[in-house]
A and B are shown apart, each in its own frame.
Chain A
Amino acid sequence: MSGKSRPRVAVVIFPGANCDRDALGAVELVGGEAVPVWHQSADLAGCTAVILPGGFSYGDYLRAGAIAVHSPVMTAVRRHAAEGGPVLGICNGFQMLLEIGLLPGAMLMNRTLRFICRDVHLRVERNDSPLLKHLRLGQVLRLPIAHKEGNWFAAPEVVRDVEAGGAVALRYCTPTGEIDDGANPNGALNAVAGLVNLQGNVLGMMPHPERRMRALLGGEDGAALIRGLVEAA
C-alpha cells in the first residue's frame, strides 16, 4: 500500500495520555497512517478518523477526562463527529466522550474503589456501525481493562433510552457470553463496557483493543475494532 493511499487516523496527544503510542502503533499495524495530533492543535491535520487514547490526561485531576475536553483540539473533534466522521474513545478517551456529551452517562469509581487491570470478556451487541462491522453479533471478545473509573452510570430515563436506542455496543460477560454480575468487573449499569451513538460513528469503550493486536501479546481481538475504524476513515 502506498503511503498516500493509507487512511489518515489522528491520535490526539494529551499531556498525561499514556496509551497514545499504543494507539499509533495499532493503527499502523492494520494499514492506517497514524498521525499524532497535539492537544493544542486547532485541526485534525487532514485526518478522517480520530482516536482519543487512554491514560490520565491532565493527571485526571478534577475528574477523569474533565480538563481534556477543554483542549483546543476538542472543538475540531466535535465538528468531525457532527459531520459523521468516525471517533473511537478508549478508556480515558471514552470518559472524554461522556464529558462532552457525544455519548450518554458518566463514569463512577469502580465498585471496589480500586484500579483494576485484567482481561474481561465482552459480548458484541451491535455490528451495524462501520466501526463494529468486523464483529459478529453475540461474539465474545477478550480484551484487557485498566481503569479506576469505569463504572458506567446514568439516570434511569437515560438508561432506558440507551437500551431502547441500541446504544450499547459491548457488554461485560462470562467467557460463554452470559451477562452475569460476577463477570462485571466494575459495577457498570447493565454491564455496559462500550457505547455507540445513534449515527454509529462515535464509539467509546473501557477495554483496550490497541493492546490486543498480536497473538504473542495474548490475542488479536482488538484488531477487528481498530481495522473497522481505519477502514471507516
Chain B
Amino acid sequence: MKWDAPATVELAREHGLSEEEFERILSDLGRVPNLTELGIFAALWSEHCSYKSSRVHLKKFPTRGPRVIQGPGENAGVVDLGQGWVTVFKMESHNHPSFIEPYQGAATGVGGILRDVFTMGARPVMILDSLRFGSLDAPRMPHLVDGVVRGIGDYGNCVGVPTVGGEVDFHPSYNGNILVNAMCVGVARGDGIFYGRASGPGNRVVYLGSKTGRDGIHGATMASDVFDETASAKRPTVQVGDPFTEKLLIECCLELMGKGLVVGIQDMGAAGLTSSAFEMAARAGCGLTLDLSRVPARERGMTPYELMLSESQERMVLVVTPDNVAPVLEVCGRWGLDAVEVGTVIPEPEVVARFEGRQAFRLPLAPLVDDAPRYDRPWVEPAPAAAVTLPNLRDREWAADLREMLASPVFASSRPVWQQYDQSVGASTVIGPGADAALQLIEGTNIGLAATTDCNALACSLDPFNGAAQAVAEAVRNLACVGAEPVGVTDCLNFGSPENPGVMGQFVAAVDGLAEACRAFEVPVVSGNVSFYNETSGTAIVPTPTVGMVGIVPGVRHRPRSHWHLGDAIYLLGPLEGELGGSRYLQIVLGLEAGPVPAVDYDGERRIAAVARDLVRLGLAAAKDLSDGGLAVAAVEMSGGTVGCKLSLPASTSPVRVLFGEWRVGFALATPVAMEPALERACEGLPLTRLGVAGGTKMVVTLGRKTVLEASISELAALSEKGLGWLSEA
C-alpha cells in the first residue's frame, strides 16, 4: 500500500486504533488522513506515547518541592543538589522488545534512557536495572536472562556509564512477559539544562546521528499490545543498538550544549521522528516544517511513512538558530556523525512535511499531543488480602528454612549479573552494585549522589496500595544505608491490560499508594513511565510499580560499608519482630503467596531512617535495612560469607517473626565495640536491641538459652552464590 493512500477503518484497526478513535481522527481533521498520517496518529495515540489510560491517575503524584527544577513532562526530571549542581534522572521500561529479542531489547532500553538524560544537558553517571524474570525452568527463560544481561552489559560498558545497581527478581507471572526497567541518573550544572522545545520561528531543525532504517517501525504500538503465541513474529519491530554511535552522540551533544549552540534538543525514542517533532513543537507552542527527502536513510526507497515511524536508534533532533547551523554541523562532523538540516520552526501549531517535492502530510498539533484521547477506564478496587491461618511455626529447623530461602532464585546473589557490567568507569563509584543503594561522588566534589530501585511485586500482588507504598519506604531505607536522604523519585509502572477493570484497579491502587508514600516522605515524583499490556494469552504479570529513588549525601567523609567486621557489635534498630503476611518466608518455605501487607508506619520510618543515615554518614556503623527475608537474610548478606555471628534473642520473642518477619521499620547495624556508646546515644528514644557480635565461622542464634539456628556462614553464602552462577560461565 502506498504511503499516501487514504486511510480506512480497517487500516486504523491494524494500527491498534479503535473505531471510535478513527471517527475522532476524521472529525479532528475534517478529512480522511493518508496512510502516513494514520500511522502518526496511531503512534502518538498509543498507550506508550499518550498515557491515555494512566494520565488521569498520574496527576495524583506530588511533583513539586523546593529542589524540583523540572517535573514530569520533559525527557527526564531535574532536581537541585546545591552548590550549583543538579541531577537529571528517569526510568523506563523495555519489556516487550526484551521478551521478543532479549539482547537487543535490553541494549536499546539502556540506550534510550541514556538519551533521555543527556538530551537535557546532563552527563549520564549511573545506570540501574530492575529486572523481572519468570521461573528458570520456563521456556526460553535462561536464554532471556542471559540475553538481557549481555545486552545491558555490552551497551552500558561501551558507552562508559557505570551500571551501579538495580534488582533481579523471579516470579512465574513473568514467564510470558519479562520486565526490563532501566534507570539513568545524570549530573549537570544548574545553568546547563536544555529542554525538548522547538521554539523560535525561523530556527532550523537539525537531524543528528544514525541513519534511519526500516527497523523498529511501530515499536510504540507493539509496546501497547498484549502478547500471544505469535510474539516471535514481532521480532522485526525490535530495534538494533549501536553503543559506539551512542557514545559519540553523548560527547557531541554535551559539547554542543556546553558551547550553547542549541535552542532545544530531544532524542528520537518511541515513535521516532514523529514523537520528537510533535512533542518538541507542542512544548514550545510552535510548529515545524520537515523535508523528509533530506532525512539520512539507511536504504533507498524509504517512504514518508517509514521515515516518520522508524525507531532506528541513536538519533537526535536539534533546534538551532540559523547562525549556529554551520558551527553545529562542524562539531558533529568532528565526531564523525551525520547531521543534516531537515526543517524549520514555524509559528503555526502544525507539522508540515514535504517529500520529493510535494506535501507528504500536514497535521495540527493539538489533536495529536495535548488533546489526544484520555480514558478514565473502569476499574474495580482490589480485594484486600485476607489473613492466613499459619501452621505451627514454633519449633522448626530454622537453619533448614534459611537454607531453602537462600537457595531460591529470589535470594540468588546477583553478582554473576553485575560482574558483567562495568561498575567503576567514571572513577566516581563509592558503592557499586550488590549493596542496598549505589553511591557516587560528583566529579571533583565530595557530594554523594545515591540511587536505588525497589519493588516487592509479591507484596503488590497481595495489596497494590500498601505494596507500592512499602516500595517507597524501602527505597528510603536503602538510601539511608549509604547515608543518603531522598531528593526525588522516578517510577516505572508495569501492569497488565488497562482494559481489564481488575488490572486497572491494581494500577489505581498502586498509584494511590505511591502518591501517599511520596507525600509522606516529602519526595516528589519528577519523571516516570507506564508500561501496560504486560500479559500473554490473557495472563497478566503481578503488578510491578518499580520505584527509582535518588538521594544526596552533602559531603561524603566515610565510605559506607555493607559487611560487618570481626568483633563488631550487632544491633537491631527498630522493632524486634516483623510481620509474615506477604513475606518471602511464606512464599518460599510454606509455598503461600498470602496474607495482609501492613500499611507503612511513616512516622517510624522517617525517625529511624534519619538516625541510620546519620550513623552511616559519621562512620559509626554499617547498616542494612530489613526487607525481603528479614533479619536472617540480612545477617547472611552482612557477613560477606566470611565472618559469622552469635545473636541472642529474648526468650519471649517469636523466632520466625524476628528472623524472617518483614514490613518493619528496621536496620541491622554493625559497629566496632569502641563506638557502641556513641551508637547507643544516637539511637536514644528509638527501639534498639543489642543482638550479639560478629565472629567465628558460623551463624548461631539463641533464643533465651536454647540454640535455635546454627549453620556455617560460608555454606549459607554459597547457597545464594549458586543460583545464578551459571551466568558467569562460558
Chain B positions 477 through 504: 1 when the CB is less than 8 Å from some CB of chain A, otherwise 0: 0000000000000000000000000000
Partner of A112, one of B158, B444, B728: B728
Chain A positions 89 through 122: 1 when the CB is less than 8 Å from some CB of chain B, otherwise 0: 0000000000000000000000111111110000
* Shortest Cβ distance from A113 into B: residue: B730
Partner of A116, one of B150, B160, B420: B420
* Shortest Cβ distance from B558 into A: residue: A216
Q: Is the CB of A59 within 8 A of B425?
A: no
Q: How far is the CA of A217 from the CA of B432 in the complex (A)?
A: 10
Q: How far is the CA of A154 from the CA of B424 in the complex (A)?
A: 29
For residue B245, which residues in chain A have a CB less than 8 angstroms away from its CB? 59
For residue A16, which residues in chain B have a CB less than 8 angstroms away from its CB? 158, 244, 247-248
Q: Is the CB of B419 within 8 A of A25?
A: no
For residue B248, which residues in chain A have a CB less than 8 angstroms away from its CB? 15-16
Q: Is the CB of A117 within 8 A of B559?
A: no
Chain B positions 139 through 181: 1 when the CB is less than 8 Å from some CB of chain A, otherwise 0: 0000000000010011001111000000000000000000000
Instruction: Using A112-B729, A115-B153, A215-B559 as known contacts, say yes or no to A58 and B244 having CB atoms under 8 A apart.
Output: yes
- Asked whether any CB of chain B lies closer than 8 Å to the CB of A220, the reply is no
Tell me the number of A-to-B contacts counted with CB atoms below 8 Å.
98
For residue B85, which residues in chain A have a CB less than 8 angstroms away from its CB? none
Q: Is the CB of B427 within 8 A of A18?
A: no
Q: Is the CB of B730 within 8 A of A18?
A: no
Shortest beta-carbon distance from A19 to chain B in Å: 6
| Chain B interface main SS type | loop
Interface set, chain A 189-233, CB cutoff 8 A to B: 208, 210-211, 213, 215-218
Shortest beta-carbon distance from A180 to chain B in Å: 18
For residue A150, which residues in chain B have a CB less than 8 angstroms away from its CB? none
- Asked whether any CB of chain B lies closer than 8 Å to the CB of A86, the reply is no
Shortest beta-carbon distance from B390 to chain A in Å: 42
Q: Is the CB of B443 within 8 A of A61?
A: no
Q: Is the CB of A25 within 8 A of B425?
A: no
Number of interface residues of B (CB under 8 A): 37
Q: Is the CB of B425 within 8 A of A22?
A: yes
For residue A18, which residues in chain B have a CB less than 8 angstroms away from its CB? 158-160, 247, 425
Q: Is the CB of B420 within 8 A of A114?
A: yes
Q: Is the CB of A116 within 8 A of B419?
A: yes
Q: Is the CB of B421 within 8 A of A22?
A: no
Q: Is the CB of A56 within 8 A of B243?
A: yes
For residue A111, which residues in chain B have a CB less than 8 angstroms away from its CB? 730
Q: How far is the CA of A46 from the CA of B150 in the complex (A)?
A: 42
For residue A15, which residues in chain B have a CB less than 8 angstroms away from its CB? 244, 247-248, 335-336
For residue B421, which residues in chain A have a CB less than 8 angstroms away from its CB? 115, 117
Shortest beta-carbon distance from B448 to chain A in Å: 9
Q: Is the CB of A26 within 8 A of B430?
A: no
For residue B426, which residues in chain A have a CB less than 8 angstroms away from its CB? 21-22
Interface set, chain B 415-437, CB cutoff 8 A to A: 418-430
* Shortest Cβ distance from A219 into B: residue: B559
Q: Is the CB of B730 within 8 A of A114?
A: yes
For residue B446, which residues in chain A have a CB less than 8 angstroms away from its CB? 216
* Shortest Cβ distance from A185 into B: residue: B419
- Asked whether any CB of chain A lies closer than 8 Å to the CB of B455, the reply is no
Q: Is the CB of A22 within 8 A of B427?
A: yes
Chain B positions 691 through 730: 1 when the CB is less than 8 Å from some CB of chain A, otherwise 0: 0000000000000000000000000000000000000111
Q: How far is the CA of A61 from the CA of B243 in the complex (A)?
A: 11
Interface set, chain A 53-105, CB cutoff 8 A to B: 54-56, 58-61
Q: Is the CB of B729 within 8 A of A25?
A: no
Q: How far is the CA of A18 from the CA of B335 in the complex (A)?
A: 14
B interface residues, Cβ below 8 angstroms from A:
150, 153-154, 157-160, 242-245, 247-248, 335-336, 418-430, 441, 443-444, 446, 556, 559, 728-730
Besides A115-B154, A146-B157, A218-B429, 6 other CB < 8 A contacts?
A22-B425, A59-B158, A115-B153, A116-B420, A117-B418, A117-B424
